[in-house]
Amino acid sequence: MRVVIIGGVAAGPKAASKIIRLRPDAQVTIVEKGIFLSYAGCGLPYYISGDVRERNHLMETPAGVVRDAVFFQKTKNLKVLNGTEALQIDRAGKRVRVKTLASGEESWLPYDNLVLATGAAPVIPPLPGVDRKNVFTLHGVHDAEGIKAMLAEPRAEDVVIVGGGLIGVETTEALVTRGCRVTVVEMLPQILNLLDWEIARLVELHMESKGVRVMTGTKALAIESRAGAGGAVTHVRTDKGELPASMVILAIGVRPNVALARDAGLAIGATTGAIKVDDRMRTSDPAIYAAGDCVESCDRVTGRPCFVPLGSTANKQGRTVAVNLCGGDEAFPGVLGTAVCKVFDFCVARTGLTERVARSLGMDVVTAMAPGPDKAHYMPQARPLLMKIVVDAKTGRLLGAQATGPGDGSKRIDAAATAITAGLTVQDVANLDLAYAPPYAPAMDNLITAANVARNKCAGLMVGVSAQDVKARLDRNEDFVFLDVRSPKEYAEVRLPRSVHIPLGALRGRLAELPRDKEIVAFCQVSLRGYEAALVLKAAGFKDVKVLDGGIAMWPYELERE
């Protein structure tokens, strides 16, 4: 069996290695345009920062062996043609035309099965000046080397990152670590559009606390160079003014590489622009499979096609390709868009649907905010974790989860991804038998607490109101009571605007101070005491009582301080 695989970074090598394990007699050839093989692209920001000291570490096996052409030949019995570009697929003749880039020599490779793992390419915006010196993307080892070289020179002081997605945000920390002044320019109203606004805003505030300037709702217009700069970038012009820049990083996102597939007449997804595949990773040609960042996936919640390029997905899809290509029958069921990244001291993670996406699809949802320590609160290593979950209002099924903060969000999001995959409701999630020990988790895990908040809302025991709604009403000077039930010490240190302070312990004795004909929104640090205050008020006959979702801990605006 002759197999040609186009692409040698993630899905391609994974498929090749599994094919050889299943069919040791197979003749497998990997064609890779670049020089570097099977490297950890997600590790590039940490190579720039210096956390990963050697470039080869990104291309090594866990045993420390570099995955180069010799490694694949001797260890895997795979033929690798790196520095070789695939030019054309002849489906009728079952062959691929390739060109060796060093010599320009062209040849044909015959195949019985072809695997497309052509990945994705960075989006280059149509801005004047994108071809100037010191303008980079961060999509490969060469890009990382260019950025590192710039950081070694004193002129790389002001860096503008165009784009506030995962790549842009992760790169920010690396640059600040190296002493740069960094500005992130994002055209959308928020960074990290894979999150809901309030969660993204908390990340943005954390970045700003580290000295990063974040400009959302801002459009880059041109990358420019002043006279005498030799064509190197000196500033970025935006619709909100000029920004000094000795280096610019374009981090707008990626598009699937589908030119080969399209030219060969393979079906392309109308929604995503990526290669259309079935759940066995077959293209519209049964002899051709595809996997990784070049293909469209299926959203496991909605059943709709989606494009979510992630290294974890690429590796799983590569394995599925190999199993089916070798005669097995394995389905790839789709994705939840589960992702995690590190932003300075914050873990930022998500899975499933955001509230924004769910509502745009016409879903009736309930959301729950659950800030709290990621370990028993009395443990010295406990750190705050801020969670949001999205729940189907009718069925109680968990649809999505997001987490941020210095606490451990990854394990909660992984548990949520498992629960969404299994179709669990918040009733199920609230009763999950999760591990507990004070150094690792609170007795009621953060995810369980979030599920219980959602259960209370679904049962009508709690009426929540979002920070955005409260802020808008404060700005309009609407007449309602914003009731802070924290302790006097907490209130003296920090507070929300226009709040009325009555500690929870004193509330029953001071009910006469509160008007019964006005809406009351109660809150505390995390709104647990706010919820208890709302129950006290309802029991006393107050009719219109709500709770601020997430409390002060998840208030995404400026706070009043002493």
H-type helices in 441-507, by residue range? 446-458, 467-475, 488-493, 504-507
Nearest 5 degrees, angle CA 506-CA 511-CA 515? 140
Contact 243, 160 (CB under 8 A): yes
Long-range contacts of 218-221 (CB under 8 A, 24+ apart): 218/185, 218/186, 218/187, 219/185, 219/187, 220/125, 220/127, 220/160, 220/162, 220/185, 220/187, 221/127, 221/128
In the residue annotation, 42 being an active-site residue is answered as yes
Strands annotated E in 374-519: 384-392, 398-405, 464-465, 481-484, 494-495, 499-501
Q: Is the distance from CB of 318 to CB of 15 less than 8 angstroms?
A: yes
Which of 438, 335, 338, 445 is CA-nearest to residue 387? 445
Tell me if 554 sits within 8 A of 470, measured CB to CB: no
Radius of gyration of the CA atoms of the chain, in A:
27
- Asked whether 223 and 130 are in contact (CB, 8 A), the reply is yes
Query: Residue 438: how many CB atoms within 10 A of its CB?
Result: 14
CB 11 within 8 A of CB 292: yes
- Report helix, strand or coil for 191: coil
Q: Which two tokens stand for residue 176?
A: 């600040």
Locate all alpha helices (DSSP H) within 178-310, ordered by sequence: 197-209, 259-263
What single letter denotes the amino acid at residue 210?
K
Cβ(388)–Cβ(369) below 8 Å? yes
What letter does residue 428 receive in the DSSP assignment?
Answer: H
Active site residues: 42
